[in-house]
Every structure is written in structure tokens, then in C-alpha cells.
Chains A and B, each alone.
Chain A
Amino acid sequence: MSSDKIDIRYVAKLARLALTDAEVESFGKQLGDLLQHVEALGALDTAAVPATAQVVESRNVERADDVGPCLDRETVLAQAPQRQGSFFRVPRIIAEES
């Protein structure tokens, strides 16, 4: 997989990351290089190998659905970049009808 096959702007859009033209150039090249290194995995025969889900055996555990101690609302909202009353305030999400 070479760098010209990565649509870096599309990946950045998925990752919610604004990139400058210079970053598109430099990251595109670096990620292409890295992908060439990871292509080495193609040499491993994994047809019959299960994917690792966890390295330490664990099993599902259940507990009663009781409310435990948690942070109070004021503590959490105190670090909000913008708040309005007891809400986080964000820029407009739905565009105005034209």
C-alpha cells in the first residue's frame, strides 16, 4: 500500500482533524512509509488464526444496577469551555433553512 493510495483528506475528515496543505503532504508521506513497514504482516499466514480480543482470560461479571458515588454536576460543568445553565453549550449543529 503506497502513500498515493491513502486519501489523507478523507481520513482526516473521518478523524475530525483539520489539516493544512503542508500537513497533508508531510503526513501523507509518513503514513505511506509506515504502511509499507506494516505490509510485512502480509507474510504471516493467519488464515486459521483467531484474532486476539483480550490477552488475559476474563469473563463477564454482573452486578446490581445501583447508583454509586459520582462527580456532581457543578464539578463537571466547571471545566466546560462554554456552558449555559446546566448544559454544555456548542455551536449550531443544524443549519438554518435557506
Chain B
Amino acid sequence: MTFRTSAADIARRVNSGSVGAREVTDAVLAHVDAVDGSIGAYLTVLHDLAREQADRVDRRVKNGETLPLAGVPVAVKDNMCLTGTRTTCGSKILENWIAPYTGTAVQRIIDAGGIPIGKTNLDEFAMGSSCENSALGTTRNPYDDMRVPGGSSGGSAAAAAAYEAAIGLGSDTGGSIREPAAFCNLVGFKPTYGRISRYGLIAFASSLDQIGPLTRTVEDAALAYDVMAGKDPMDSTSIDREVEPAAGALRDDLKGVRIGIVKEFVTEKLGPEIHALYQKAYADLEALGAELVDVSLPTADYGLATYYLIAPAECSSNLARFDGVRYGLRVEGTDVGQMYENTRASGFGDEVKRRILIGTYALSSGYYDAYYVKAQKARTLIGDDFKRAFAGCDLIASPAASSPAFQFDSKSDPYSMYMMDYYTIPMSLAGLPALSVPCGYVKPDDGDRPMPMGLQLAAPLFEEVRLLGAAHAYERATQHARAGAKVGA
């Protein structure tokens, strides 16, 4: 079936006229209707909108246009606005909110011929690493339905892994694209902070949030990035800098590339099997011609503590807008203050409440300097670590997550969940482009079925082309994802 192939291949076939976008879309929708009851990737499936857009793409192709994403099925994380569709953030407070406009990243995907198949599940307001914090549904890992898909972009990850879309759109604040990509055997790519407009992305932590793709191949990640990246007048934080196309610059070897291995990221701590997996991955990079060099990120160990002050602080400010006045849920009270308090108490789940409370505390009078300002200074040190490291290397390689996908309800302590993002948070704090690419399988501690793992590669600011190029060489040589691609068959 056409839809099980890559986004690049679908676009080639639709552009050549050998298959219609409508035909691909109908097949994907039928597949979603058949399998998504057990996977739960989507909160809303957009049957009508997808077919209308497919017919529009077929007309444009017939009129001689070549579209980079012609007929490519796309899963949109449900914190991204798309006109006329329910946009929930996985929260009861927005359960019935209909977006009145379309965000720039989604619009660029649609203009490029992509087909929005539906809106995907996420941890509420993108706060979590398993999708278990969604108030609106459960998403299962397509590789093992007893396990989480990762998060917060878990629905988009599950959709891409189970062929319910070729591109999943995600957002990454501390690892929310890279960790679910690792758990679901995908490429998950977070570009440089500011590369892709966030207009229409419902804000969580504005100094960190970044949109990116989750795909089954590096080439597809590059295609999606090329379409979405670039300055947008609607997002003043988007970068005004030329975007060098990545899809045409993918490499087949790593000759002349110096790859830093972080001496503080001791993989022995992750157990012998995971340690061996990453040693093999680093050796594979070397076999492709890369020179491995030791680098040091002495402050990276403070990343988690830094992140769990900055992100909640920004979240407490951003989520102040959900007050029952202009949109979303309202729960009445005797006066307006009670109405605010009751609305937010009923509308938000536990993790969102925890982060609002910790953020409010960190910003409150008497604690602001001790917590928030201290964290922003630690953030400077973490960024400086990377600058020093990149003086001696071109890319940095590390694990993407510290374990494979875990079972539902196995992380009851919030901090043990936060630890999942240990390796991804430092790059987020420094604004760096980073991705996870499949690097093999390990048996989880609590099961026999091997589960996928991800290799994280990170690059200096704006070096997306270098990053994707190297990831492609690794993917092409190792083909780890292909070995496990058996889901949704």
C-alpha cells in the first residue's frame, strides 16, 4: 500500500501522477479507522478536511504544480491551531475549543501539499514524557501496547510509527519530540530555537518551545523542516535568517566530521545492555568516517534542576490566560475570583497544577532571585559548556532517553518521570538543534519484547543541515528502524 512508504516517496508518486492524493488519503483514513481504536494516536480524525485538501492537491498537481509534500498524510499535535478543528491541548479546559485560525507551521505544511489527517494526543499542555497526562485519551506504543508512546508528542509519534501518518508534527520544550521518537523508533527533530514559527502553537514555556517533525526517515524530517522553517512576521521570536535546504544535502558518510562524546554522560549507569548499545552506535559513527572526540559538559548535570524552574515559571505565566472569560471551560463562582479558581481547578490536571504552583512559587516575591534568576544563570553556564565543546567538535552524540518505553503507571513519582528528559534538556536550554535517530533495541527491565532506542545528535545553533546530513549517513548505514518496522502491518 502506498501510504506505508516514506513521505518523500508519496510526494514523488503524487507529483508524477502515478497515484492521486485522494487515493492515498482514503487509504490512510481507512487504516486509521481500522487501527486507531487500539492505538489512540488521534483525539480527532479529520475525514472531511483531509479529503477536501487531497482533492485540492490533486487539482494543483493536475495544473502542473510540483508540491514538496504532495499527498503526504500529516498528524498534527493537538496544541497546534487549525481553523475549524477542535484544539484541546489534551486538557479539559480546552476540550471543546475550536481554533479560529491556523498556525504558520501547519499552514506551510498544507500549502506544500500535506494532508492533515487528524489532531493527536499529548500530555496536557505538552507537560509530560508519556502521554499519560492527557485528560482526553490513552495512547499506546505501537511496538508494545502495554507501554507508553513517550511524550509529550506521543500521539504524533504513535501515528507516524503505526503508519497513520508519514509525518507527525510535534513540539519540543525539554525533549517532547526526541523522547517519543526514541520510544517509537522514529526520527524526531527539534530545530534551533526560533527556526520554525510558533504562531498558532499554544504556549507552554516560550523561551524553549519549538516545533519539529517525527518521521520514519531522516529524509522525511528534512523535507518537513524545509517546508516549515523560516521567518514569520506573526512570530516575533522566529529567526530572520536564510534557511539552507536540508533535504538535498543529506550525506552518506561522516568523513571529516568530529563527533563529541560527552564524558559526563556515563552510559554504564543505564545498565550493561544499553551501555553496549550506545558503544556500538558510537563505533558505527566512527566506522562511517567520523572522528570521535571526548567533550565535557560539566554543567549539563544541572540541566534538570534548571529546566524545572524555568519551564514551570514560564508555564505559570502562559497558562494564566485560561481563566474562563474568553474561551474554554468556565465553572461559575460567587464572584469573578472564585470563578477563576473554580475554572482552573476543574479544567487543569495534576501535572499542570504542579507546574503552575512551582512556577508561581519560583517567581513569587522573595524567591525570584533564589530560584528563577539562579536558574537563568545556570542556563548561561550550560550554554557556555556547549560553546566550549563545539570548539572541538562538529556534533555531539548521546542517548536520547535513559530507557526504552516504560509500562503505563510505572512512574508514579513526578521526578522519576522528569528524569526521562535528562539527556534532551541541556540542548533545549541552549536552544540547539538536536534529533533522535533509531539506534537499535533493548529488552526493558520489566519485559521480554525488545523495544527501540534512540541516538541523540546535537549541533551548534543553525547547523540543521550538518545535523540532518550526519543522521542520514548513520541511518543509511545501520537501518535500525527498518529491522523493527513490523507494526500496523
Determine whether the beta carbon of A17 is less than 8 Å from that of B345. Answer: yes
Contact with A along B299-323 (1 / 0, CB 8 A): 1001011101100000010001001
On chain B, the residues within 8 Å of A14 by CB distance are 360, 364
Determine whether the beta carbon of A16 is less than 8 Å from that of B357. Answer: no
A interface majority secondary structure: loop
- Closest Cβ–Cβ distance, residue B382 to chain A (whole Å): 9
Residue of A12, A15, A49, A91 most packed against chain B (CB within 10 A): A15
Which B313-341 residues sit within 8 Å CB-CB of chain A? 316, 320, 323-330, 332-341
- Closest Cβ–Cβ distance, residue B388 to chain A (whole Å): 14
Given contacts A81-B330, A91-B333, contact A16 B320 (CB under 8 A): yes
Residue of A8, A17, A80, A88 most packed against chain B (CB within 10 A): A17
Determine whether the beta carbon of B361 is less than 8 Å from that of A16. Answer: no
At the interface, yes or no: B159 with Cβ under 8 Å from chain A? no
Determine whether the beta carbon of B414 is less than 8 Å from that of A30. Answer: yes
Which B343-400 residues sit within 8 Å CB-CB of chain A? 344-345, 348, 353-354, 356-358, 360-361, 364, 371, 373-381, 383
B367 (CB) vs chain A CBs: closest residue: A1
A95 and B337 CA atoms in complex are apart in Å by 11
A89 (CB) vs chain B CBs: closest residue: B325
On chain B, the residues within 8 Å of A27 by CB distance are 353-354, 357
On chain B, the residues within 8 Å of A44 by CB distance are 299, 302, 374, 377-378, 381
Q: How many residues of A contact B (CB 8 A)?
A: 49
Residue of B299, B332, B361, B380 most packed against chain A (CB within 10 A): B361
A78 and B328 CA atoms in complex are apart in Å by 11
Determine whether the beta carbon of A37 is less than 8 Å from that of B305. Answer: yes
Determine whether the beta carbon of B101 is less than 8 Å from that of A38. Answer: no
A6 and B357 CA atoms in complex are apart in Å by 10
Which B184-200 residues sit within 8 Å CB-CB of chain A? 192-194
Contact with A along B75-102 (1 / 0, CB 8 A): 0000000000000000000000110110
Determine whether the beta carbon of B376 is less than 8 Å from that of A52. Answer: yes
Contact pick for A15, options B302, B360, B430, CB 8 Å:
B360
B97 (CB) vs chain A CBs: closest residue: A79
At the interface, yes or no: A90 with Cβ under 8 Å from chain B? yes
Given contacts A41-B375, A44-B299, A55-B193, contact A49 B381 (CB under 8 A): yes
- The 6 A-B pairs of least Cβ separation, nearest first, read A55-B431, A81-B330, A51-B376, A46-B377, A18-B341, A18-B345
5 extra A-B contacts, CB within 8 A, seeds A17-B353, A31-B358, A56-B239: A16-B340, A42-B374, A61-B236, A88-B326, A91-B333
